[in-house]
């Protein structure tokens, strides 16, 4: 694969590792219960939303700042990145999440380490209800990502980073009471590995991935369809190298200011 020989590809993979590590470290760190009493849901929701917005602003132009296997899966099935890149992204996200949880575990006092397993289903919620909640939480999140990342939109309004952060905050404000608001298999997998607690863990994979794929398909095939043929989609999935275009020499004159539109 030509991507494997590209330094930008490996920078993007590292960005996914790095971004997910910070996402898990700060998000789970803000959810630790330092005082006796109910969990401050607003604090946790804002923490996850702000760290996601920070990573999108910092890494969006490097890798797209997926930092979530459900998001990567949605982009893959929407034929917006190659299978090769998607696999490396998801592996990097899982390893980054575990690294973030491990660092957090190491700096957390022993008496508080049991709180790392944030994803817990409320006793009155069954696994079917929990799965549906995770589907809807991730569906709205991925729908927001597809809409705000869409390069076809003329004059995207506002901040993409803040839009993604607010969407994630919204999901946590609702979902914390039901399931702990996973919305991200890497974020749920990391503390499960560290604490060795995989109770009902499948919910936090099935729900987000199904919801993410539904959100991506809803946007790309119904709300704002991408008019691409099967051949073009397969070319993206296989990771075919894009055709190189010959650049014309710049005419003499005033220097041209290069402008980029970052996420």
**In the chain, domain spans:** 2-238
Q: How would you class 27 by CB atoms within 10 Å of its CB: exposed for 0-12, middle for 13-18, buried for 19 or more?
A: buried
**How far, CA to CA in Å, does 149 sit from each of 40, 141, 152, 230?**
31, 12, 9, 22
Please name which of 204, 177, 207 lies closest in space to residue 193, comparing C-alpha atoms: 204
**DSSP classification of residue 125:** S
Phi and psi of 117, rounded to 5°?
-80, 75
pTM of the full structure: 0.89
**DSSP classification of residue 115:** G
Please, which residues have CB within 8 angstroms of residue 263's CB and are 6 or more apart in sequence?
56, 57, 60, 61, 64, 65, 149, 160, 161
Buried b (16+ CB within 10 A) or exposed e, 131-148: bbbbbbbbbbbbbbbbbb
Tokens linked to 232: 């073009």
**DSSP classification of residue 176:** T
Q: Are 182 and 117 in contact (CB under 8 A)?
A: no
Report the chain's C-alpha Rg in angstroms: 20
Task: State the Cα–Cα distance between residues 87 and 143, nearest whole angstrom.
Answer: 21
Q: What is the pLDDT along the chain (263 residues), one digit of tens a residue?
A: 688 888 999 999 999 999 999 999 999 999 888 877 778 899 999 999 999 999 999 999 999 999 999 999 999 999 999 999 999 999 999 999 999 999 999 999 988 877 776 678 999 999 999 999 999 999 999 999 999 999 888 766 789 999 999 999 999 999 999 999 999 999 999 999 998 889 999 999 999 999 999 999 999 999 999 888 888 889 888 888 776 544 444 444 444 343 434 44
Please, which residues have CB within 8 angstroms of residue 233's CB and are 6 or more apart in sequence?
79
| The listed CATH number (1.20.1080.10, 3.40.50.300, 3.20.20.80, 3.90.1200.10) that belongs to domain 2-238 | 1.20.1080.10
Task: State the Cα–Cα distance between residues 54 and 21, nearest whole angstrom.
Answer: 13
């Amino acid at each position: 694969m030509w991507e494997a020989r590209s330094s930008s590809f490996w920078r993007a993979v590292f960005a996914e590792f790095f971004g997910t590590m910070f996402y898990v470290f700060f998000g789970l760190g803000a959810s630790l219960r330092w005082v006796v009493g109910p969990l401050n849901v607003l604090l946790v929701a804002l923490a996850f939303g702000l760290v996601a917005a920070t990573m999108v602003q910092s890494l969006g132009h490097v890798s797209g700042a997926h930092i979530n296997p459900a998001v990567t899966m949605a982009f893959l099935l929407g034929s917006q990145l190659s299978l090769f890149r998607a696999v490396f992204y998801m592996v990097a996200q899982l390893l980054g999440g575990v690294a973030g949880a491990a660092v957090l575990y190491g700096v957390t006092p022993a008496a508080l380490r049991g709180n790392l397993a944030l994803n817990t289903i409320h006793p009155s919620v069954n696994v079917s209800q929990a799965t549906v909640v995770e589907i809807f939480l991730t569906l709205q999140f991925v729908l927001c990502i597809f809409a705000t990342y869409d390069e076809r939109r003329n004059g995207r309004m506002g901040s993409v980073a803040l839009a993604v952060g607010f969407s994630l905050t919204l999901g946590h404000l609702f979902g914390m009471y039901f399931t702990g608001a996973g919305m991200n298999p890497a974020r749920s997998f990391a503390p499960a590995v560290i604490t060795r607690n995989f109770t009902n863990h499948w919910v936090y994979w099935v729900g987000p991935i199904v919801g993410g794929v539904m959100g991506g398909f809803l946007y790309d095939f119904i709300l704002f369809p991408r008019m691409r043929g099967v051949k073009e989609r397969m070319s993206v999935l296989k990771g075919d190298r894009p055709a190189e275009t010959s650049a014309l020499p710049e005419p003499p004159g005033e220097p041209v200011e290069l402008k980029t539109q970052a996420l």
